[in-house]
Structures are given as C-alpha cells and as structure tokens.
C-alpha cells in the first residue's frame, strides 16, 4: 500500500505575513508602477496635444493621425516590445515607449473631441474681441476642451496601470513583478499574486479618483452646471 503524501506547505491566497515580510519589495514595485504610469501620461499628453490641434486645424490630417495611433494601439504588447528592442534594448525605456504609444490613441481622440466641441459662435465671439489663433486656443478653446481631455487622461491612466504589468517580461513591470516573478514563477505562490493584483486595482481606483477631483478643480463651471441640473 502506498504511503500518503506529506501535507503540502501552506499556500494561502492572501497572507499578511507576506506583505509584512516583503514590504520593501512591494514599495519598490509600487514606486516603479506609479512612476511609469505618470511618465507615460505626461509624455503622451505632450505628444497628443499638438497632434490633436493639428488634426483640428487641418481636417484631412485627422484620419491619418487617428489611424496611425489606432494601429499602434492594436499591436500586441510582445510584438511591440520585439519591434522596439533593436532600438532601445531590454531597458526601462522599452516599456515606457511602448506604454506611451498605447496611450496616444485615447489621448489624441479625446483631445480632438474636446477641441471639436467648442461652439463656432464662441470662436466667432473671440475673433470679434480681437483674439488671435494662439490666444484663442489657450484662453477659449483649451479650457472648453478640458473636460473631454481629462476624460481621456483618466481612461489612458487606468489602461496604463494595467499595461505596466506587461513590462515584467523585460524586468520593469511594477506590481507585475509580484504577480509573475514571485507568484507564478515561484511554484505558484498565491500571496504575491493576490497582493499584486489588489494593489494594482487599488492604485487605479485612487489615481482615477484623484483625476476626478483635479477635473473638478480645473473646470469649476462644470460643477455649477451639475448643481443647476440637480
């Protein structure tokens, strides 16, 4: 008769002792996750804004700009990283560039939507008051477009937080390091998988809430319309 196998080592789905004993690792992963996300959105916004302005000024360019950013968004992450590898190698920049390219479609599309949403009569009134193209953009068009732009920033940010984890394949995946390296690649250690997943979700919720509050600060007139509507 075969002997019964020894009891397997405890492998809970969540373990506070894992969080306590690996606090430094978790904090390092979280710092990397946040920095990559913030850098992606800042760089993406800097690139997307002039592209959207160009698309709104030169109408025939809107299709090609949205088309190119749309194609970039559909490229699988592994294929995109493979295509970027000859130029930047296995580095942090490989992940950052890939994330920026993925964020461009959302940021450009929403910024363009916001700029196109500026009423013609508002533009005519600004021209009648002597506003030039530059002054009208910064003082009239951009403020009106801010709600749509911030919606794009929120969507792109949440999407980026999820995509950062893919960077684990080149060693820069934020909470993805916990999920894959310490979880799946370590005899399916459940605690880091759950910890990394929950922290990733929590980060997305916290940053999304912060962006909602920032939008309310940037466009206080929108709050007035909400109060009037209620």
Q: What is the pLDDT of residue 183?
A: 65
Instruction: Give dist(CA 37, CA 107) in Å, integer.
Output: 14
Domain that holds residue 188: 24-224
Q: What is the pLDDT of residue 5?
A: 45
Position 29 in a domain: yes
Q: What is the pLDDT of residue 189?
A: 67
Q: What is the pLDDT of residue 221?
A: 62
Q: What is the pLDDT of residue 11?
A: 67
**Per-residue tokens: 92:** 């942090």
Q: Please, what sign has the CA dihedral across residues 25, 95, 171, 11? A: positive
Number of domains in the chain: 1
The CATH number given to whatever domain includes residue 80 is: 1.10.3720.10
Q: Are 19 and 72 in contact (CB under 8 A)?
A: no
Position 7 in a domain: no
Nearest to 207 by CA among 142, 144, 148, 159: 159
Q: What is the pLDDT of residue 226?
A: 46
Position 129 in a domain: yes
pLDDT in tens, the chain (230 residues): 334 444 456 665 666 776 787 788 889 888 999 999 999 999 999 999 999 999 998 889 999 999 999 999 998 888 888 888 888 887 888 999 999 999 999 999 999 999 988 888 888 788 888 778 788 888 888 888 899 999 999 999 999 999 998 888 888 888 888 887 776 666 666 777 888 889 999 999 999 999 999 988 887 765 545 434 44
Alpha carbon distances (Å) from 204 to 38, 50, 199, 208, 210: 12, 27, 9, 6, 10
Q: What is the pLDDT of residue 204?
A: 94
């Amino acid at each position: 008769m075969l002997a019964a196998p020894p009891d397997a080592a405890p492998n809970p789905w969540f373990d506070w002792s894992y969080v306590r004993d690996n606090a430094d690792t978790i904090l390092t992963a979280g710092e990397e996750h946040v920095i990559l996300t913030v850098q992606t959105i800042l760089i993406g916004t800097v690139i997307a804004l002039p592209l959207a302005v160009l698309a709104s000024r030169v109408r025939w360019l809107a299709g090609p700009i949205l088309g190119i950013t749309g194609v970039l968004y559909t490229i699988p992450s592994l294929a995109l990283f493979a295509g970027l590898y000859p130029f930047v190698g296995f580095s942090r920049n490989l992940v950052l560039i890939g994330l920026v390219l993925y964020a461009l479609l959302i940021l450009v599309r929403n910024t363009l939507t916001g700029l196109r949403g500026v009423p013609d009569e508002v533009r005519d009134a600004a021209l009648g008051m002597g506003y030039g193209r530059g002054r009208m953009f910064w003082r009239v068009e951009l403020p009106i477009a801010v709600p749509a732009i911030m919606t794009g920033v929120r969507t792109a940010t949440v999407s980026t937080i999820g995509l950062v984890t893919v960077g684990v394949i080149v060693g820069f995946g934020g909470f993805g390091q916990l999920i894959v390296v310490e979880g799946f690649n370590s005899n399916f250690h459940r605690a880091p998988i759950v910890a990394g997943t929950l922290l990733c979700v929590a980060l997305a919720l916290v940053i999304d809430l912060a962006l909602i509050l920032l939008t309310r600060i940037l466009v206080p007139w929108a709050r007035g319309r909400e109060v009037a509507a209620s």
